[in-house]
Chain A
Amino acid sequence: MTKEKKRVGVYICHCGGNISDVVDVEAVRAYIEKLDGVAVARKNMFMCSSDGQKMIEQDLKDGLIDSVVVASCTPKLHQGTFRGALSRAGQNIYLLEQSNIREQVSWTHTHDHAAATNKAKQLVAAAAAKAEMLEPLEPIKVKTVPCGIVIGGGIAGLRAVRDLSKWGMNVVLVEKSPFLGGRTAQLDHVFPTKEKARDLLDKLIKEVIADPKVTIYLNSQVIDGGGSLGDFFVKIEQTFRGCTEKYDLKELEDAIKDLPKDIKNEFDYGLSYRKSIWMPYEGCWPSIPAVDWENFQPEDADKVNGSGFEFQPNKEIIEVRGGSIILATGFDPYQPAQGEYGYGTIPEVITLPQLVRLMADDGPSNGRLEINEHPVRSVAFIHCVGSRQVEGINNPQPDGKVNNYCSRACCTATLQAANELKERYPDLHVFDLYQDIRTYGHGHEEYYQQASKNQILFLRYDPLNPATVRPSNGRETAVSITVKDLLTQGEEMELGVDLVVLSVGMMPRNIEQIIDIFKLPQGADRFLQEVHPKLRPVELAVEGIMLAGTCQGPMDITEATAAASAAAAKSMNILSQEYVYLNPYIARVDEDLCTGTGLCIEECSEVNAIRLENGKAVINKTICNGCGMCVAVCPNDAINIQGWTIPQYKNMVSKMLIPAQELA
């Protein structure tokens, strides 16, 4: 079937000088203008500007062109912008093709302007070849499920839930642990406001649980999921918490007094022990004990005297549906390797999160600064443990990579802890061993200034030659540190201290299953990766899935809650619409060519989007994912992916390689 070719308008962007400093834009325009099928070829300093867009609109309105090629940056950035121009001119938005001559030409062939210009000509010619074969398409209309799904019940997840529910939206919150609050519940005071972390949490939790629009699933793991923008499903496995009644810590202690207290308490980062039935702290939500099924022994059941307990680890599979998903799965503190700065081999070496628990009123020593029941007279903090690591100096993680990123929140957190120690115990000697101090946030620098006033002694180490920590062996203090101090021209210093605190960085939490289910992109640092750090900072490449907080990268609570609110606002954009529209890039059958071989059905066995009706293949439009496997096996060329057809690709390939004499 012969289809009428489109008259193509080609618009080439200078991108300030990003493109035109390398590519001769006028030469590209002049070359493209001469190609068959190209009706107009123009250039503009910024095609994404309103002037640039108006140029396209005007040519469409004047009837000069039918389809559009914009040669500029990657389509990920401005596809929506240029589709908007087509839409305003009354043209079908899918009659647009983009040629990426910035990221894939001018930014990668900087040193050969002539070759870059030729390559730009070839890529733009190929795009024009596709554009002349484009057809108007209609997006697939999906009825939005008016409910948001938030995965993770820490402070970012709670903030997102609260924002969505406040705007009138139903929300499902899925939390892996039996309690809400996440890492924030383990903190004491937060910078820079010095509020109690739990006061912040309590306020949010109170609002969330009071809202009937919010459904909370605790003790729940995501085990499956799917769907698309506007209509996702998430299958969760919820484990019974083992108790249904409220308790305070004293009542719980009475009920379980005969249980052994031999499980390292993760809430205190292993500094204390707990029992197999537990609550992390007084006033946690819910104040209903949970059974730690992994450590609960069958004989433990006979040792419990309280009511409301039922010792059956029943699991229930629940499927929830929502129009968008917000991931707020959080982080784990870096766990130093055995022996790293003496961690795990010298008892007086702990991490900053452990110190925070030690200093908390309800911590393992009730807020007293003591280690192994000995008071502490001197402390040394070591920054950047597990962050800003250097290949060849630091041991890699299991994936073979070191954590070369900065964890951002730990400098201020370290100085906050150092100041607080000094203010609580004025006679304490505090040393701070750092690479660089990065107190970057609003109100953070004050902690650095205050540290100087508090006479905290700073020593600067070289990351290529970090400090060594070893037991003091009989000296007055428990630990000896040797460090070359760059502030005193590399003089070697030896410090004797009672306690060493490793300021550990953040690591992404292990959410492999969720990543696998939804095919989520990760950055080189293993955190989830947004589409673009500035233009789409809380969106994932999987449309409809948003990021909130530290699953995206290291950040403090201020930033995590800001990201959560942004993710909630982005979700509302989807959830507040009755319908969302998906790309129409799915399989289409040419009934004239289809002979009903059924090969496509076999090829689509995983997705089952094709069936035979009256001897012809029929596509289920809401199931087809546009992979194109069916295309390759059709002996009659009767099936293609709309917008990405084999004839379009062939036309591109045939126009891409231009003889050298034509390029000159």
Chain B
Amino acid sequence: MTKVESSYTPNILLLSTIDCAYPGADWAGQMHMDHYVQAFNLRVPSPAMFPEEFYFYCFEQGFDGILIMSCGAECPYPGAYDRLAKRVDHLYKMMKERNLETDRLRLTAICTVCAQAYVKEIEDMAGNLKTLPPIKKALGDIPQGVN
């Protein structure tokens, strides 16, 4: 699929952990750090709970990109981050099989005071997504018969 510069406003879903990234997002707010608007937080205990199918559901609903804002090494749940990282690897393979650009999904770690990193991740993904077609179009491009 060729990359195209486009002027649409991509929608980004943020899976933000209650213990780390969500307070980090709050901190960005407390610091009044203006940033890209169309990024929506879902507060989650751990993104390790989401099966692969959930991500594709979100794409189908119109999210052009998904940022998994985890606790990284600071994850309070033993084993959760490692499993999440493996799932994301698996997701990348599945996305490639479905002709979806892997730039649409990113796993990152945001701490409770990582306001700058939080904003940067959103801005970077928004920038990357603008070089890709909107998700609805990308999904429409999927050839029949590919699982």
Interface set of A (CB-CB < 8 Å, partner B): 74-76, 100, 102-104, 107-112, 115-116, 118-119, 122-123, 126, 519, 521, 523-524, 529, 541, 585, 603, 605-607, 625-629, 631-633, 641, 644, 646, 649-650, 652-654, 656-657
Contacts and interface: CB of A to CB of B under 8 A. Distances in A.
Contact of B45 (A100, A626, A646): A626
A76 B63 contact: no
Contacts of A626: 45
A628 B46 contact: yes
Contacts of B58: 653
B49 A632 contact: yes
Which of B25, B40, B50: most chain A Cβ within 10 A? B40
Contacts of B76: 519, 625
B113 A122 contact: no
Contacts of B37: 109, 112, 115-116, 118-119
Contacts of B124: none
A603 B25 CA distance: 29
Interface string B91-120: 000000000000000000001110000000
Nearest to B52: A632
B26 A76 contact: yes
B25 A103 contact: yes
Given A74-B22, A103-B28, A628-B46, 13 more contacts: A74-B26, A104-B25, A108-B29, A116-B37, A122-B40, A629-B46, A631-B51, A632-B87, A646-B49, A649-B54, A653-B63, A654-B61, A657-B11
A657 B49 contact: no
Closest 10 CB pairs of A and B: A628-B49, A103-B29, A627-B77, A606-B78, A107-B29, A606-B79, A519-B76, A103-B26, A631-B49, A657-B62
Contacts, number: 129
Nearest to B77: A627
7 contacts: A107-B32, A108-B32, A126-B40, A627-B46, A629-B49, A649-B44, A652-B42
B2 interface: no
B80 A629 contact: yes
B34 to A, nearest CB: 6
Contact of A603 (B38, B42, B83): B83
Question: Chain B interface residue count: which class?
Answer: 35 or more
B85 interface: no
Contacts of A603: 83
B109 to A, nearest CB: 14
Given A102-B29, A541-B19, A123 B48 contact: no
A75 B58 CA distance: 24
B112 to A, nearest CB: 5
Nearest to A116: B37
A629 B112 contact: no
B30 A644 contact: no
A119 B41 CA distance: 11
B54 A110 contact: no
Given A76-B23, A100-B26, A628 B45 contact: yes
Given A107-B32, A109-B37, A627-B49, A519 B13 contact: no
Given A112-B37, A653-B63, A629 B45 contact: no
Given A605-B79, A627-B80, A646-B54, A100 B41 contact: yes
Contacts of B61: 653-654, 656-657
A118 B13 CA distance: 16
Nearest to B14: A104
B14 to A, nearest CB: 9
B45 A653 contact: no
B43 interface: yes
B35 interface: yes
Contacts of A519: 19, 74, 76
Contacts of B42: 126, 649, 652-653
B49 A644 contact: yes
B51 A627 contact: no
Interface in B70-91: 74, 76-80, 83, 87
Contacts of B26: 74, 76, 100, 103-104
A595 B38 CA distance: 41
Contacts of B83: 603, 629, 632
Contacts of B28: 103, 108
Contacts of B142: none
Contacts of A650: 54, 57
A104 B51 contact: no
Contacts of A75: 43
A118 B29 CA distance: 17
A555 B29 CA distance: 27
A628 B23 contact: no
B110 to A, nearest CB: 13
Among A122, A585, A632, A641, max chain B CB count under 10 A is at: A632
